[in-house]
Amino acid sequence: MNLSYLNKAGFKAQQGVTALLMSLIILTLITMVSLMTAKTVSVEQKISGNELRSRQAFEAAEAGIEAARTYIDKVNGGPDRAVSGTVDANIFTLNVDGVTTELAALNTVGTQSVHNITDASANLSGSVTVTMTDASPGSDMSLIFVSSVGLSADGTATRTISLLMPVISSIPNVPVNPVISRGKVTISSGATAFNVFNPEGNTTLWVGETVSLGTSSSTYTEIEPPEGSPCLLDVPPCTSVKASDTAQIGVDIIDSEGSLAELTTDQLFYNIFGMGLEAYKQDVIDTQTTSANYSSVVDHAKNRFIYIDDSADIDEGDIEVFGCASADFEVNDTPDSCSNLSPGVLIVEGDLEITDEASYFGLIYVTGDLGVSDNVEIQGAVAVGGDIIHTGGSLSVYYDSSILTQVVNNAPKSAAAGTWRDFE
């Protein structure tokens, strides 16, 4: 028997089995690697898809927040454009940073409205639900809670952004005195009458320097009747009582007030309006005009915040009334009346000289001096960074907090960035 031949045959058989086993092992490993690779690719695709949907939802939620801020902003009329006391029913089409938001109908306070969002530049699409509620303690819409829920294009991913959005007040420190003057108040002998009425308090003039009421017997001030005043028993009861006249200055006139005189004109403006003049022009003022072209803008203006860029002379025929339409204005009453009151704010950067009779409803602010030489009536309040000089005619100032409140409520509003954000 040839043993060497048998050994060689057996060895070759073993080599074949080993090769087969190695092939099977390699094939198994390749299969496992392929399966793992396929699984990894599948997971990565899912992660990528989830990230895209999450991004779509987040961008939609961000767009909803920006839509709410823009809706509230004064450029577009504020949250209560219908002056109904609640957030308006309608909203507009908005383009912000390439994101087109179709905003057709944001319903009443607390309700929801779904809007489609597309961003072709980022290949994004989705929808957003915006909820706006009045979170201010006094329900005056000074603080609005905004919740924006963004959805991905397929509706499977949701992101929510919530924040408290403060609304900038147009006059955060409403004057409580009919007349404020950082300088002097001088009523000359040529003035027929100077009258200041404050039926809501016990001060009429707050003046940084001296007050001279002149010599006219028709010059006097009146304040709220003190408790126990006999005139309160009259039928109808009195609304004010005389406090000062040319013979004696009463306690209602605060003059030589150092804390007021020491303020700069910028500081006085800031104390009333809560920001500097330049910021106020940008954030609140809705109409800017020049000293040469103010007449058509100011006369019969309704609910307007107007800024005149330089000293102005209001001459004969320039202005009849500010804060009231001509058809609603009645000059025969005392004080003059407006059946459809629409008070505003008139700011003059410089001196203001009024040489023709006119009536003003709202707040008048002059950074320089105010001169009056004809019959002028102001209902609301007046604040002056310089002196008040009354040389002719009658000047009557009637303090009315309801008019000033209406000015604030009707004012253009702007939304601040928000106090905080919650992300879900």
Q: What is the domain partition of the chain in residue ranges?
A: 56-168, 179-410
pLDDT cut 90: percent of the chain above it: 36
What confidence tier does 380 reach under pLDDT thresholds 50, 70, 90? very high
Q: Largest Cα–Cα distance in the chain?
A: 156
Q: For the segment 269-290, what is each residue's pLDDT rounded down to a tens digit? A: 999 999 999 989 987 888 899 9
12-16, 112-116, 374-378, 408-412, range with greatest mean pLDDT: 374-378
Q: For the segment 63-107, what is each residue's pLDDT rounded down to a tens digit? A: 777 777 777 765 555 666 565 667 654 443 333 333 444 333 333
Cα separation, 235 vs 237, whole angstroms: 5
13-17, 22-26, 183-187, 263-267, range with the lowest pLDDT = 13-17
Is residue 258 predicted with pLDDT exceeding 90?
Answer: yes
Which residue type sits at 242?
K
Total Cβ atoms within 10 A of residue 358? 21
Which residue type sits at 187?
I
Cα separation, 291 vs 256, whole angstroms: 32
19-23, 30-34, 170-174, 361-365, range with the lowest pLDDT = 19-23
Calculate the dihedral angle through the C-alpha atoms of 413, 416, 421, 424, rounding to the nearest 10 degrees: 40
Q: For the segment 298-345, what is each residue's pLDDT rounded down to a tens digit? A: 998 888 899 999 999 988 778 889 998 877 887 766 788 888 888 999
User: Among 273, 294, 309, which residue's Cα sits nearest to residue 381?
Assistant: 273
183-187, 261-265, 318-322, 408-412, range with the lowest pLDDT = 408-412
Cα separation, 250 vs 14, whole angstroms: 126
pLDDT of res. 156: 85
The predicted model scores a pTM of: 0.70
For tokens 């960035």, name the residue.
Answer: 417
Residue 308 in 3-state DSSP? Answer: strand
Is residue 182 predicted with pLDDT exceeding 90?
Answer: yes
What value does the mean pLDDT of the chain take?
80
pLDDT of res. 169: 76
